[in-house]
Amino acid sequence: MALVKTSPEDERVKCRAWVLDRILQQHGWFELPKFINIREIVEEEICIKNQLLPKAFPLTEKLLRKQGSPCGIFYCLHGPRSIRLTAVFDLETARVLFYDSTGQRAGIRCVKDLVLSAA
């Protein structure tokens, strides 16, 4: 049996799909299309809130774990002049918490609201 190596990007895609499926199941939002990419929606929302062009700056993400199981995703947009704008997607409450460059909370959005406004 040969071991197949997967790239970090493949792992991220699997993780995103798993997280989205879990949200849809937990909250009964089966009417939402499964192909929606939460990452792109969060990136667009961060850019709109901070008057930046979408896709102009790199966005990193990291899976957050609590006691070994996934509990959310941390997003960081690396903007101009070393500004870091962040968001945390909380899997338990299905909300995205947005933070400004000083670390102060800049807003909270329900994932369902974000997805429906992007559709």
16 occurs within a structural domain: yes
Which tens digits make up the pLDDT trace of 11-68? 666 666 666 666 666 656 555 544 357 788 888 889 998 889 888 999 988 888 888 8
3 occurs within a structural domain: no
1 occurs within a structural domain: no
Structurally, how many domains does the chain consist of? 1
Domain span holding position 41: 8-118
57 occurs within a structural domain: yes
User: The whole model's pTM is what?
Assistant: 0.70
